[in-house]
Amino acid sequence: MKINTPVPVTIEQVRNHDYDSVAFFPEEGVIPDSFLTDGLEWLLVASDMMWLGSVTVTCAVPKEGIDTNAALLHVGAVLHADGVPIETRERAAAYLLMKWFDEVRTLPGNVATAFSGVQ
């Protein structure tokens, strides 16, 4: 499934794993291999969200046409997906954050901007 905008999901669905997690991941092969190094800032932000929760996000500036809450819930759904390796979840979440936000900051001090990573 090609993901251009966030798929609607509620916080209750994410908490209860009551959603089709596969529908929230980018298509296979969409994330470039170089993203593992070039997208480091986004990966650090995604990791903060994975281990500390969405409350760690102190600033999220969405790209035009993107709903901040919908995008963060979608990313949360990716990070909480069942049966998917942690590295895969973090990488997918980081890629989606980069696609949908100009900037995201987290409490531990990690910052990712539109100038971080593969465009």
Domain spans of the chain, in order of start: 28-100
Residue 63's CB is within 10 A of a number of other CB atoms, namely 13
Read off the pTM: 0.88
For residue 119, what pLDDT is reported?
A: 46
Strand partners, 62: 101
Per-residue pLDDT of the chain (119 residues; tens, 9 = 90+): 567 899 999 999 999 999 998 899 998 888 888 777 777 889 999 999 999 888 889 999 999 999 999 999 999 999 999 999 999 999 999 999 999 999 999 987 777 766 655 54
Of 26, 33, 36, give the one whose Cα is nearest residue 100.
26
What's the confidence (pLDDT) of residue 1?
56
Q: Quick count: other Cβ atoms within 10 Å of Cβ 91?
A: 21
